[in-house]
Amino acid sequence: MCGRFTLSVFPEVLTQIFEVEKIPDFKPQYNIAPTQMVLVVLYNSEGNKREIQRLRWGLIPSWAKDQSMGARLINARAETVAEKPAFRRAFKRQRCLVVADGFYEWQRQNGKKQPYYFRLSNGKPFGFAGLWEEWQSSEQERIKSCTILTTQANELLQMVHDRMPVILQQESYDLWLDPQVHDVELLQPLLHPYPSEAMTSYPVTTLVNSPKNNSAECVTPVKI
């Protein structure tokens, strides 16, 4: 699964990588946790362009009785996402990129869980394959939320976890975001493990175990 990630780059970098005009104000985040607000790239059909919005992490299906369901839907398995009732509608029509520049996974060592930080070797931000939904409460409150797709771990991740978030190649962004593309056979091949040779990882402090900690120390390498 993917339960924590980071975003700490300059806004100008996001503008270039994701080809958007404006970036919502944000502060560096070194320990993003479920139910928090995250930056997400959507395709605006009316404006015929990409845009970045803030969505809540943890997808709330439009038919959900209450918003608590979102806390359980922070991830969606790529292998079954087109079939699951909570995700299949969004998979066809409401795909997005969840913006990040790294993520954490935990390895069990001597009865404890050691966190590792993973990022691209070139240090650039990237887009997790995501889905979004808009939910409305009985009091007419509207919440836009999202989930991150996961797939089998690549060789780098396998030492820590058997799953990893789907990191899309930059050249795949247009296809993934296109709301006119509904063909599972076109979309499914995008959801493969990111190449190990293009990534790096290292152990970090257990400070990341608590979402209350949100400083650069979270991504500082430690010896184990």
- List the chain domain ranges: 4-219
Which among 7, 47, 41, 45 is positioned nearest to 27, based on CA atoms? Answer: 7
Average pLDDT, integer, range 6-35: 94
Task: State yes or no: is 105 an active-site residue.
Answer: yes
pLDDT tens per residue, range 178-215 = 999 999 999 999 999 999 999 999 999 999 999 999 99
- Model pLDDT, residue 94: 96
Catalytic-role residue among 2, 96, 146, 218 = 2
**pLDDT tens-place string over residues 115-171:** 999 999 999 999 999 999 999 987 878 999 999 999 999 999 999 999 999 999 999
DSSP 46: T
Kindly name the residue from 12, 21, 105, 171 that is annotated as catalytic.
105
CATH code matching the domain that covers 4-219, chosen among 3.30.420.40, 3.90.1680.10, 3.20.20.70, 3.30.460.20: 3.90.1680.10
What are residue 147's phi and psi, to 5 degrees? Answer: -135, 160
